[in-house]
Amino acid sequence: MDTINYLLQGFEVALTPQNLLLALIGSFLGTLIGALPGLGPANGVAILIPLAFTLGLPPESALIMLTAVYAGAMYGGRISSILLNIPGDEPAMMTCLDGYPMAKQGKAAEALTISAVASFIGSIVATIGLILLAPLLANFALSFGSAEYFALFVLAFATLGGITGKNPVKTLVAAAIGLMMSTIGIDISTGQPRYTFGMLELFEGIDFIIAIVGLFAISELMFFIERHMGDGDSMVKMNKLKINVKELIAVLPTSLRGGVVGFISGVLPGAGASLGSFLSYTVEKRILGRKNDFGNGDPRGVAAPEAGNNGAASGALVPMLTLGIPGSGTTAVLLAMLVSLNITPGPMMFQQHADIVWGVIAALLLGNVLLLLLNIPMVGIFVKLLSVPPKYLMPIVTLVAIVGIYSISHSAFDLYFMVAFGVLGYVFRKIDIPLVPIILGLLLGPEMEKNLRHAMMLSDGDWTVLWSSGLSIGIWAIAIAGLVLPYLLGPLLRRKMHKPS
């Protein structure tokens, strides 16, 4: 019953006029970010972080806004999938399969409505799952010692590429580079400056918001220029919505199942939203058997992946909130936000910052209601905005990001640093070094080193302490599986995911 009390308290936090307004703004911006191809949810949230800082928001408000952005981005991805046949973000890939055919048959409005309802149901199912599972997991995680945490960090990096990832070694390389960046600055426990080269600006370490905006936003701009994507793509015309309740009810079971499948793949390390939407599409196809018309504009083929990726998005918050281990790029960015607000994520957060945790969960429920309202009657606004070509939008977005950074510190040094990160991000993306592990490394580095120190101090320098308990051995085993499985299962799964598209 505690849970319900906490949740009610959460609603009290989320329902203040200011937070409600922020949730609405977040939902709107999130949908927009999700809809624009090329501006993925991780980028979008990253760009908005400096903005949340400059607004001087209290932690819970900032987090509510960004959670709404996060949820919104998952809704937005479907719009360009359906109208342009280009996924707005990676998890929306599967929505193209039936969404675009539907739009071509003159049922774009129906496809958008059905997918919005499915997104809503998937999200709600998964948020209920989150409410039930998160406190249990947080309680369990209280028994973790430093050695377990160290192993858990390794697990987070090992599984970050996902079992569909192409080259786990590159994930590891990226993680090492990120962790190395995190050691720049004064060592907290000994006061020893490390890798600062005598530069005063480096003594406090690298600010990861600068790294995030540089790596994501600036490199994205460079990619747009390189690929001459300035003009945008042609869009299917919108039609007048004629939908009946019966059609909506018909996709309900599909959406519910999709939400559950999505939630599970969101919680599991190494799965994530893309796999969530893929799995729920495939599972649904199996369940429906011969009754399906998947691939030719079946409404259920639109509902399943959308419920799946939204479910996974909420599910991914479970490890992020309870263990401080993000399961995806976007949750990593959300985690960055928490850390920069001086909140240490993890099981203690449920005790020390219960109001924030439950405020966010309540905001997630509320945000979904807002998103449903935004995405059905007002979907036309997003369609209009989507027709603004990137050649105008991308420079503006980039400049907003830069101004955000500048307004935090008023330091030109930070801006140069950000441009350097942009070039680095561009080069890394060219050689397939993923960027999210870098951010995550920069973010989790200090905690990881601290836990290693604690564990080693207690054991008097005996390294075996790191794998001495059953729990830590289990975590190491999953981490190793996370590195090995992509080689065994990866090619197979990747082929299956790409065959239908």
Q: Which two tokens stand for residue 153?
A: 């960090």
Binding mask 214-253 for other proteins (x = CB under 8 A): ----x--xx-xxx-x-xx----------------------
Nearer to other proteins, 8 or 225 (CB): 225
**Angle at which helices 470-498 and 272-288 cross, to 10°:** 60
Question: Scanning residues 319 to 358, which ones bind other proteins (CB under 8 A)?
Answer: none
- Determine the size of the site formed for other proteins (CB under 8 A): 64
25 touches other proteins (CB under 8 A) = no
**At residue 401, what is the residue type?**
A
Q: To the nearest whole angstrom, how small is the minimum distance from the Cβ of residue 402 to other proteins?
A: 8
Residue 488 as a binder of other proteins (CB under 8 A): the answer is no
Report how far apart, in Å, the C-alpha atoms of 198 and of each of 167, 193, 195, 202 are.
36, 9, 8, 8
Told to check if 487 binds other proteins by CB under 8 A, we report no
Shortest Cβ distance from residue 88 to other proteins (Å)?
Answer: 19
**What region does 87 belong to: left with phi over 0, alpha with psi -120 to 50, or beta?**
beta
Report the residue from 143, 189, 234, 344 that binds other proteins according to the rule CB under 8 A: 189
CA distance linking residue 487 with residue 472, whole number of Å:
24
Site string for other proteins, 450-469 (x = CB under 8 A): --xx--xx-xxx--------
Stretch in the footprint of other proteins (CB under 8 A) among 21-29, 113-121, 173-181, 295-303: 173-181
SS3 content of the chain, % helix, strand, coil (to 5): 75, 0, 25
3-state SS string over 141-178? HCCCCHHHHHHHHHHHHHHHCCCCCCCHHHHHHHHHHH
CA distance 283 to 289: 10
Mask of contacts with other proteins, 142-171, x by CB under 8 A?
------------------------xx-xx-
Asked if 207 is part of the footprint of other proteins (rule: CB under 8 A), the reply reads no
- How far, in Å, CA of 168 to CA of 160, rounded? 9
Kindly tell me which of 185 and 253 has the beta carbon lying closer to other proteins.
185
Shortest Cβ 489–other proteins spacing (Å): 18
> Binding pattern to other proteins, positions 388-407, x when CB under 8 A?
-xxxx-xxx-xxx-xx--xx
- Long-range contact pairs involving 6-10 (C-beta distance under 8 Å, separation at least 24): 6/135, 6/354, 6/358, 7/131, 7/358, 7/361, 7/362, 9/354, 9/355, 9/358, 10/355, 10/357, 10/358, 10/359, 10/360, 10/361, 10/362, 10/363
Q: DSSP secondary-structure letter at 288?
A: H
The nearest distance, CB 146 to other proteins, in angstroms, is 11
Contacts to other proteins by CB under 8 A: 54-56, 166-167, 169-170, 172-173, 175-177, 179-180, 183, 187, 189-190, 192, 194-195, 218, 221-222, 224-226, 228, 230-231, 389-392, 394-396, 398-400, 402-403, 406-407, 412, 415-416, 419, 422-423, 426, 430-433, 448-449, 452-453, 456-457, 459-461
